[in-house]
């Protein structure tokens, strides 16, 4: 009797093991032991051939191009992109693995935001290039949470997939560049000039002003604002956008001197936005620093100047607001503008019996 009981027990145990191995999980709907396949099988083997990336969603698009060992943004005058951000796109795309086959009916792809072209602008197309030829073209659709999953498909195929991993890369240019152009603590500013007025730092750290142009453009309240705003601007110079430099009809100049370097800011008004060009040059009558810390600071400024050459940068709106009151104040209202012209007031006759 013991032998049949033992045999039944072994078979039962084996069935339990098999059931565990083949039972689909509630999270993924697949067998845990199944080998997942990458959605884009060509990406990893051809990674060294990659020279460009394009992202398209609705009317928006973003292009990234490899330039030597660096990445640039062609639509922003080839301004340098952050390599780590570009690698995040490729890593996210390579990390998509097929979990479950979804619909292959073309008419139903829109339900997963996988139709392309997409009139609603919900789907996102990611194209990875080797020269002008695509290595991969992937349509990214809806995302699922808890557990995370991404619906996607290859552009050349109607078969859609639920994939493990996520693809959250956006098409906003500012996410792929270093938004901080330079850092210059306000204590490192010796003097600056704006609107025909030169501001110099005294021994106690207070600012003094002197008119250096025949006609100064800054009134007293603007001078007080400039003492706070200009040093703070360069303490952490951040941007919201970048493009190739161009000429503007309405622009103002700010010149900042920090020991042996002069930083020229050319700030232009374009609609409601302020765009800025940056130039860094050596001050001829100032010696080069010998202290290591000072040399590093000057080197950082020189690198920022090189990086900014040929470009202009959109300032954040909160920064543009404070600068506009100094550089582009509204025209003063004419005297007595609110007073009616003599003889233009209507004649008012009081009713009978009124005091």
The secondary structure of 165-227 as a DSSP string is S-------GGGGS--EEE---GGG--EEEETTEEEEE-TTS-EEEEE-SSS----HHHHHHHH
What's the rounded Cα separation, in Å, for the pair 74 and 95?
Answer: 26
Q: What percent of the chain has pLDDT over 70?
A: 84
Q: Determine the average pLDDT of the residues in 230-248.
A: 94
53 near 130, Cβ under 8 Å?
Answer: no
Q: What is the DSSP letter of 240?
A: S
Secondary element (H or E) of residue 229 = helix 220-235
Over the chain, what is the mean pLDDT?
A: 86
Q: Determine the average pLDDT of the residues in 129-136.
A: 96
Instruction: For CA atoms 320, 321, 325, 331, give the dihedral sign.
Output: positive
- Which distant-in-sequence residues (6+ apart) come within 8 Å of 197 by Cβ? 209, 210, 211, 212, 213, 216, 217, 218, 223, 226
For residue 263, list its beta bridge partners.
256, 280
Higher pLDDT, 77 or 146: 77
Q: Cα 126 from chain centroid?
A: 18
- Supply the pLDDT for residue 274: 97
**Does residue 72 register a pLDDT over 80?**
yes
- Supply the pLDDT for residue 28: 38
Show the beta-strand stretches assigned E in 259-303: 261-270, 273-282
- Supply the pLDDT for residue 336: 61
17 pLDDT tier (thresholds 50, 70, 90): very low
Q: Determine the average pLDDT of the residues in 322-326.
A: 93
**Does residue 9 register a pLDDT over 80?**
no
Q: pTM value?
A: 0.78
Q: Determine the average pLDDT of the residues in 212-225.
A: 90
């Amino acid at each position: 009797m013991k032998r049949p009981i033992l045999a039944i027990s072994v078979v039962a145990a084996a069935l339990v093991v098999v059931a565990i191995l083949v039972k689909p999980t509630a999270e993924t709907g697949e067998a845990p032991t199944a080998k997942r396949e990458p959605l884009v099988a060509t990406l990893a083997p051809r990674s060294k051939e990659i020279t460009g990336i394009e992202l398209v969603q609705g009317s928006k698009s973003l292009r990234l191009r490899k330039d030597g060992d660096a990445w640039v943004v062609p639509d922003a005058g080839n301004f340098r992109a952050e390599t780590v951000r570009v690698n995040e796109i490729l890593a996210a795309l390579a990390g998509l693995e097929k979990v479950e086959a979804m619909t292959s009916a073309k008419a139903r792809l829109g339900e997963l935001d996988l139709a392309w072209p997409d009139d609603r602008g919900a789907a996102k197309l990611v194209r990875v290039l080797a020269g002008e030829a695509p290595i991969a073209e992937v349509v990214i659709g809806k995302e699922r949470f808890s557990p995370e999953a991404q619906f996607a498909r290859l552009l050349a195929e109607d078969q859609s997939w639920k994939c493990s991993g996520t693809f959250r890369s956006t098409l906003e240019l500012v996410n792929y560049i270093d938004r901080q152009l330079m850092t210059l603590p306000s204590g490192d500013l010796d003097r600056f000039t704006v609107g025909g007025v030169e501001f110099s730092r005294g021994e106690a750290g207070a600012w003094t002003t002197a008119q250096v142009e025949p006609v100064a453009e800054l009134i007293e309240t603007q001078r007080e604002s400039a003492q706070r705003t200009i040093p703070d601007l360069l303490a952490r110079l951040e941007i919201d956008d970048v493009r190739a430099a161009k000429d503007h009809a309405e622009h103002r100049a700010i010149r900042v001197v920090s020991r042996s370097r002069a930083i020229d800011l050319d700030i232009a008004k374009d609609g409601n936005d302020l765009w800025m060009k940056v130039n860094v040059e050596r001050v001829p009558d100032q010696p080069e620093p010998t202290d290591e810390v000072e040399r590093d600071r000057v080197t950082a400024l020189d690198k920022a100047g090189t990086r900014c050459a040929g470009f202009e940068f959109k300032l954040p709106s909160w920064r543009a607001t404070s600068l506009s009151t100094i550089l582009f104040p509204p025209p003063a209202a004419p005297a007595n503008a609110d007073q009616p012209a003599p003889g233009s007031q209507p004649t008012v006759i009081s009713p009978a019996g009124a005091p």
